[in-house]
Amino acid sequence: MNLKDTKKISSLQLGILTFFLSKATIFPVASSIMIKFGKQNICFCILISTIIGLIPLLAYIYINNRNNGLNIIELNTKLFGKIIGNIINFIISLGILLFGVITLLGLCNFIFSNFLYGTSQIIIGALFMLVVSYASIKGIETICRTSQLLFILSIILFLISFGCLIYYIDINNFKPILDISFNNIFKSSYIYILFVITPIFILSIIPNDIIVKHKNYNRSIIIGYLLSMIVTFLILSSTIGVLGNLTKYFEYPEYIALSQIDYFHFFERVENVLSLQWVFDIFVFMILVIYFLKKYISCTFNIKNKKINNSIVLLLSLLILLITSIFFTNSIVIKNIIINNYFYVLLVAFILIPFLIFLRIKLKRNINYN
């Protein structure tokens, strides 16, 4: 069952993947919910969440450092046995599948409402998932190389965005400070941790023996995490600084803030180009979601045939697209489901289960990985 990747990736590439995973769900899903609770204090909530988020992050790193060349699917069956291990793997994979569905819907809704109004969201999603499937089929090395290029473009777009938004920031928009209840601060921070930290667990599908310069593994993950936190903090703080109290009324406030940019009345609608940075985040995220789920199926059912694995990728993309079209009709529905139900899925799949894996490794050091 031990299906090994023959290609190698660098610790730098791993840090870049961490950067994208940490940012991917902020724009399409989490930011508007966070702002609903945190309001002008959203920046304070991000700082709290970043510190608390180091706890699950370090647990993830600990697990990945001790997987002895196994991905998380294989590791769980070794730690807990085949029956319990398969149940745990199913719950984790289900959480990641729903992550993909929610993120894809957020992207399709954004593109539909701002770029391609009148075009079916299914068509938008299908075209996007077709490219995602192609990249996922190419394997982890190609995924990492693609992410390196997109990382450079993303940072350039971020620097342009933030540099231009500074001119429009009004300090008064950050007032009043800490005028909300502790409960709302907790909710906003809680959302941030669940939607920003937990996606990093997807990296556990990558066995540590294919990582070049593994001694830099911990540092790369932490740097990627902190860099994404800095970028998110600056983007959301500048959004609050530009829009003020109006921020909570917009579904995609970051995009609305970018629409204020005007290059001497010469360039118009620059927000359409600058918003590509968030599309890049989601693109890399969805590739890794499909890659994780493919590995889950191939490891669980011991599928080694390349053509069958490629077919699995296409079927998974189709499944995510179908679930998106059947169960979620608009962004209001999805946000209600997130607030009322999906938090529990995230909590179990990416907080409680990793904690159990962490304890199991601690208590069972001499594990037969062969």
How high does pLDDT run on average in the chain? 86
Q: Is the pLDDT of residue 329 over 60?
A: no
pLDDT of residue 166: 87
The single residue listed with the structure tokens 């730098």 is 12
pLDDT of residue 2: 44
**Six-digit token string for 8:** 């190698």
Q: Percentage of the chain with pLDDT > 70? A: 90
pLDDT-derived band of residue 189, with 50, 70 and 90 as boundaries? confident
In the predicted model, what is the mean pLDDT of residues 355-370?
Answer: 76
Element (H, E) at 149: helix 140-165
Among the residue ranges 98-102, 174-178, 209-213, 271-275, the one predicted with the least confidence is 174-178
Element (H, E) at 10: strand 9-10
pLDDT-derived band of residue 3, with 50, 70 and 90 as boundaries? very low
Task: Report the first-to-last Cα separation within the chain, whole angstroms.
Answer: 10
pLDDT of residue 319: 94
Length, in residues, of the chain: 370
Among the residue ranges 24-38, 157-171, 213-227, 290-304, the one predicted with the least confidence is 24-38
**Six-digit token string for 198:** 């937990």
pLDDT-derived band of residue 368, with 50, 70 and 90 as boundaries? low
Can you tell me the distance from the alpha carbon of 349 to that of 185, in angstroms, rounded to the nearest whole number? 24
pLDDT-derived band of residue 314, with 50, 70 and 90 as boundaries? very high
pLDDT-derived band of residue 353, with 50, 70 and 90 as boundaries? very high
pLDDT of residue 326: 76
Q: What is the DSSP string of 162-226?
A: HHHHGGG--GGGGPSTT-S-HHHHHHHHHHHIIIIIGGGGGGGGS-GGGEETGGGHHHHHHHHHH
Give residue 333's region: left, alpha or beta (phi > 0; psi -120 to 50).
alpha
pLDDT of residue 227: 95
| Per-residue CA distances from 13 to 147, 150, 234, 260 (Å) | 8, 12, 23, 34
Beta bridge partners of 263: 267
How many other CB atoms are found less than 10 A from the CB of residue 142? 15
Among the residue ranges 222-236, 250-264, 318-332, 334-348, the one predicted with the least confidence is 334-348
Is 143:288 a contact under the CB 8 Å cutoff? Answer: yes
pLDDT of residue 80: 94
The angle subtended at Cα 154 by Cα 152 and Cα 156, nearest 5°, is 70
Q: Is the pLDDT of residue 186 over 90?
A: no
In the predicted model, what is the mean pLDDT of residues 74-93?
Answer: 95
pLDDT of residue 286: 96
Q: Is the pLDDT of residue 365 over 70?
A: no
| Per-residue CA distances from 188 to 46, 74, 161, 183, 193 (Å) | 8, 35, 24, 9, 9
Q: What is the largest CA-CA distance in the chain?
A: 67
Q: Is the pLDDT of residue 272 over 60?
A: yes
**Radius of gyration, CA atoms only, the chain:** 20
In the predicted model, what is the mean pLDDT of residues 159-186?
Answer: 82
**Six-digit token string for 209:** 């023996």
Taken in order of first residue, the domains within the chain and their CATH numbers are 9-363 (1.20.1740.10)
**Six-digit token string for 347:** 């909590």
**Six-digit token string for 129:** 């998932």
The more confidently predicted of residues 36 and 221 is: 221
Q: What is the DSSP string of 83-110?
A: HHHHHHHHHHHHHHHHHHHHHHHHHHHH
Can you tell me the distance from the alpha carbon of 158 to that of 152, in angstroms, rounded to the nearest whole number? 10
In the predicted model, what is the mean pLDDT of residues 291-318?
Answer: 94
Q: Is the pLDDT of residue 270 over 80?
A: no
Q: Is the pLDDT of residue 48 over 70?
A: yes
CA-CA-CA-CA dihedral for 209, 210, 211, 213, to nearest 10: 70
**Six-digit token string for 185:** 């601060």
pLDDT of residue 263: 55
Q: Is the pLDDT of residue 235 over 60?
A: yes
Can you tell me the distance from the alpha carbon of 150 to that of 276, in angstroms, rounded to the nearest whole number? 10
- Identify which of 239, 254, 189, 230 has the alpha carbon closest to the alpha carbon of residue 40: 239
